[in-house]
Amino acid sequence: MPPSMPLRWGCHRFRKAAGQYRYVKAPPVKPVELAVPPAKQPHSLTQRPESAVLALTPNTPSGNAPANSKDAAAQETFLREVDDALREDQLRSLLLNRGRPILALVVGGLVGLGGWLWYNDHTASVRDQQSETFVTALDALEANRTQAAKQGMDPLAKSGNPGYRAAVQISDAAIAEQAGKADEAAKLFAAVSADGTLPGPYRDLATVREVATNFDKLPPQTVIDRLKPLAVPGKPWFGSAGELVALAYLKQNKTEAAGALLASIAKDKAVPDTLRRRTRQLAGQLGVDAVDNPVAAVDGSQVQ
Q: Is the pTM of this model over 0.85?
A: no
The CA dihedral of 277, 280, 285, 286, to the nearest 10 degrees, is 150
Dihedrals phi, psi of 60, to nearest 5 degrees: -125, 160
Q: Are 188 and 198 in contact (CB under 8 A)?
A: no
Identify the pLDDT of residue 31.
56
Longest dimension (CA), the chain: 156
Nearest to 167 by CA among 145, 137, 196: 137
Identify the pLDDT of residue 275.
93
Residues shown for the chain: 304
**Average pLDDT per run of 10 along the chain, which is 304 residues long?**
41 42 51 51 49 47 56 82 84 79 85 89 81 82 80 80 87 87 92 91 94 93 94 92 94 93 92 92 86 43 42
List of long-range contacts for 46-52, beta carbons under 8 Å, 24+ apart: none
